[in-house]
Structure 1
């Protein structure tokens, strides 16, 4: 969430997802089934729907031990009329999209399709409908209508209106995909500087806008030049005790603060990405690895190194000249139940929002994500709602795990193979990637 341009996730690279950086409306006309002129009704009979898998704890996608989608019971079977219709329909041509080629496939080609209850992802999909993209935005009234529908009804609707595509490299080959994770930190902070809380987090100063997109002061200048510090002093939002906590917020691009005000009142606020100083991001983790001062690129290793070398922490941080500036957002009870806004401009949903390369996948696209590794076994529908500087390529995604300490272990541990399938409205064109 911090070293790119726009959104929550323009630079997230911390343990795994994190450690790499340290080292969405009316119903369209039915599509005719081959040899038939009817489309199965959305109320078509089907096997009984099993009880949904229990939802994960609020604020997190689930613990690493509990995150196993392969144990979910089927909601819809291949014998269902809508499944037979969808897999018998003629395949459309492949769709090129910037760094990817979308190859049309059948629903039977999606490992585990029909087992996701789709409850949490519907919340994420509704959020994407706050900022819908053409052409799938026309389906948003139907997405809203199905807010209280059961899992079978939602599957029938999805299969009726959406065509699956395997997301491949531009030459049609299957890329070596990678799934990492990111989260929203929650940290203690003070409104005013004191003897312990000496690390500032700033709002953008007017001088930054006056730079007109040119690189502004480096991290070293911001930390050590009295004139620059005097310029920034009126724009200090909060103060932290640990410079590595500040680095974490700069990398993630957003975070929650338990902020102690001068009167002693503690408030929960969110700091969201507002700007950066225009300098390239340099990984302090990679610097230590290259020097041979740590053997593994983990947050724990960085913490241990800093504890053993407190006098060298500032010098290490100066090897990364980029500084992120924030804006403070109120965090009431309702806002606290969702993540920060991603690059699509909508709040992220734990376990259902992912960051993608927007040159391969448009924002708001529903994706069938399959990934098995030592941390999680995932077969679920997610929504592309964010991006990141380290998230590059066709089969590349960063999985939003939630906020606070309960979301950290999964975000830190995810670094495993990935396969992606995109769902796109039938008979609709795929827009080109955004111009740089």
Structure 2
């Protein structure tokens, strides 16, 4: 957004602040309904740090994606957003300010500070056949419920699982990461060297407890850190020990193949819409309804030798996760590939968060 546009927006924010009353201490009856893990407090737009500095046009595709499955309160706004798309970032900002209201989110005790983490979609080289370095299989979900409970150490080499092998990867720790994330991309190369990318998605797991393979190696001092490079170096030095190291985690995730019509879109989140890199977050749905626009105030992922830079942007609550609990808690989807993996690994910063919600409406839990 240019300097003149920021000036216009600043003047609008100033006029809104001058004519507005102080935010209420608790939401009125027409405000978002209180949820067990969250407090919503109405605020002025001027209280959102950095508001007006984000390119909201970059967030618009994620917003429209959420509008594919709108809650009843959002039907009118979503229709307007689809029929009258903003021409620039300033128009997008003013459209949100005209039809939505910001609410500061705090925990049940009133603490407005929480945690931002990151996640990504792993992308691994793969082969349809077991050959060369491609020795680590991904399995489809067994039809037999009893067979599904087989622990990891008893799956590979088991003839009952041979027909369930979807593909093979050359990175055992990448396979573990794929199972932790629950979905990912496989890059296949044919004999002529042409690439084909497919997506595999979570289909179920074997109901065994999760144990961290990386934590076990760290505790024994066998790796210095949990980066893919350190784990890969360990595997190359200890090829005969990799299978036993992986068996520390008895849980196995089973996959199914999904179409990948647009490589520029992420996997579908819990809301049922494709995730947008840098604009989709996982939240605790007991505190925040899926599809809610959120304003984040945090810092960019840590980078060696660089001071922390502000991360202030509009995102959409489009996913959930078992580790994402609490009101002021968000897990930012960074995309796929090595850069996204690095950003996700380095994202663990304090967070403040505001929800944007249509005036006069009450969301349903």
TM-score range, shorter chain: 0.7 to 0.9
Out of 267, 284, 292, the position equivalent to 1:340 is 267
Q: Is the 8 A contact 2:86 2:92 kept in 1?
A: no
Is 1:164 aligned with 2:97? no
Q: Tell me which residue corresponds to 1:154.
A: 92
Change in CA separation of 1:236 and 1:354 when aligned onto 2, cut-off 3 Å? same
Q: Tell me which residue corresponds to 2:299.
A: 372
> For 2:56 and 2:19, how far apart are their aligned partners in 1?
20
Out of 85, 88, 91, the position equivalent to 2:20 is 88
Change in CA separation of 1:359 and 1:215 when aligned onto 2, cut-off 3 Å? farther
Out of 173, 179, 187, the position equivalent to 2:111 is 173
What's the CA shift for 1:50?
2.0
Q: Is the 8 A contact 2:141 2:148 kept in 1?
A: no
Out of 399, 408, 419, the position equivalent to 2:341 is 408
Is 1:133 aligned with 2:80? no
Q: Is the 8 A contact 1:75 1:151 kept in 2?
A: no
Secondary structure, aligned partner of 1:316: helix
What's the CA shift for 1:385?
0.8
Is 1:192 aligned with 2:129? yes
Q: Is the 8 A contact 1:189 1:258 kept in 2?
A: yes
* TM-score, normalised relative to structure 2: 0.87
RMSD after superposition: 2.7
> For 2:3 and 2:250, how far apart are their aligned partners in 1?
52
Is 1:112 aligned with 2:44? no
Q: Tell me which residue corresponds to 1:29.
A: none
Q: Tell me which residue corresponds to 1:420.
A: 353
Q: Tell me which residue corresponds to 1:291.
A: 220
Secondary structure, aligned partner of 1:135: helix
Q: Is the 8 A contact 1:104 1:166 kept in 2?
A: yes
What's the CA shift for 1:145?
2.1
Secondary structure, aligned partner of 1:206: coil
Task: Extract unaligned runs of 5+ from structure 2.
Answer: 28-32, 304-308
* TM-score, normalised relative to structure 1: 0.74
Deviations, residues 215-238 of structure 1 (Å, cap 9, x unaligned): 711112213xx5xx3222222211
Q: Is the 8 A contact 1:348 1:400 kept in 2?
A: yes
Out of 136, 145, 149, the position equivalent to 2:83 is 145
> For 2:122 and 2:162, how far apart are their aligned partners in 1?
24
> For 2:14 and 2:64, how far apart are their aligned partners in 1?
23
Secondary structure, aligned partner of 2:267: coil
Change in CA separation of 1:251 and 1:173 when aligned onto 2, cut-off 3 Å? same
Q: Tell me which residue corresponds to 1:390.
A: 323
> For 1:130 and 1:114, how far apart are their aligned partners in 2?
26
> For 1:196 and 1:304, how far apart are their aligned partners in 2?
15
> For 1:117 and 1:86, how far apart are their aligned partners in 2?
26
